[in-house]
Structure 1
């Protein structure tokens, strides 16, 4: 007698996703708060399980303090960043990984004089949709972020604040 499998059957509607940043014309590049992000995998490609974002963070770059109800994992590929987690600072360098538990207050900052690059995975997906709503589209991951006027920066912060709750995020 064969027992039923404890896992669901394969879903043939789901496809293998292979991302080739050098040649993939479908990737979305955005500038957000001076950083440049590439959406490598969206929730649409992972059945909502996670998203994967390639983040380029210039010296001084990084988001304001915030928290959200999903897990966020960062693997630093190049450079060094300072993560502040529940008020405690931790310096992270290339090759290291940080996991931020859901609901925990945190932010990061590039406190070095060199650019940093990391991969960010959010689970479940959705953060990429928020970023796409509030960021400025750019042409490539090497394009400089646009120089926004004070009024444009204020409008961007206001839009981010207005949409935050819809995307399960809270600014602190």
Structure 2
């Protein structure tokens, strides 16, 4: 995981000068140069990485098919979802609620949660994590695919066990706990 030190400005201090080493970033989800990955049937595109934001946040485009979604978990960073199309069941601290697009959902750091697509249709959403790092976790456990319209690989039982073991072993490095 890349270590980014986030620079904050103490109260009463003037804003620093514009950092001319940083550039405008424009990310198009269909850009084949972006990292497109598949994790457990979901298709994610890393739109903005922590390397591009000095570790402040990452932004991930997510396509979640019917039946998709992660197991219950919690992590040491904030996570915000913006549902662009579809609906998801969000379980937050044991309470489940169906959220329909357009909507934004913020998950506070360390809170147990999960989401599940039980709608019968594909869900499209954006996920912002702050600070960054979640994109690196996904890149370390997911399968690379050519683009976001590529079908998600269908792993056999042995591959599923291998992926789950990898995910579980790497979770602490990325400040995540599966419940």
TM-score range, shorter chain: over 0.9
Describe the superposition over 1:128-161 as per-residue Cα deviations: whole angstroms up to 9, x where unpaired.
0000000000111111111100000010000000
Matched with 1:105 is 112
Matched with 1:147 is 154
Equivalent residue for 1:60, pick from 63, 67, 70: 67
Q: Does 2:28 correspond to 1:20?
A: yes
The two structures, once aligned, show a CA RMSD in angstroms of 1.1
**1:5 Cα deviation (Å)?**
5.0
Q: For structure 1, which segment, 13-22 or 91-100, has the greater mean C-alpha deviation from structure 2 after superposition?
A: 13-22
Equivalent residue for 2:131, pick from 121, 124, 133: 124
Q: Does 2:164 correspond to 1:157?
A: yes
**1:6 Cα deviation (Å)?**
2.6
Q: Secondary structure, in 3 states, of the residue corresponding to 2:63? A: strand
Structure 2, unmatched stretches of 5+, are 1-11
Aligned length: 168
Matched with 1:9 is 17
Matched with 2:40 is 33
Q: For structure 1, which segment, 13-22 or 120-129, has the greater mean C-alpha deviation from structure 2 after superposition?
A: 13-22
Structure 1, unmatched stretches of 5+, are none
Matched with 1:89 is 96
Q: Does 2:77 correspond to 1:70?
A: yes
TM-score norm. by structure 2 comes to: 0.91
**1:61 Cα deviation (Å)?**
0.2
Describe the superposition over 1:18-71 as per-residue Cα deviations: whole angstroms up to 9, x where unpaired.
11234x332010000110000000001111100000000000100000000000
Equivalent residue for 1:136, pick from 143, 146, 169: 143
Aligned-partner Cα distance in 1 for 2:118–2:28: 30
**Preserved contact between residue 32 and residue 146 of structure 2 (Cα < 8 Å):** no
**Preserved contact between residue 32 and residue 147 of structure 2 (Cα < 8 Å):** no
Q: For structure 1, which segment, 86-95 or 5-14, has the greater mean C-alpha deviation from structure 2 after superposition?
A: 5-14
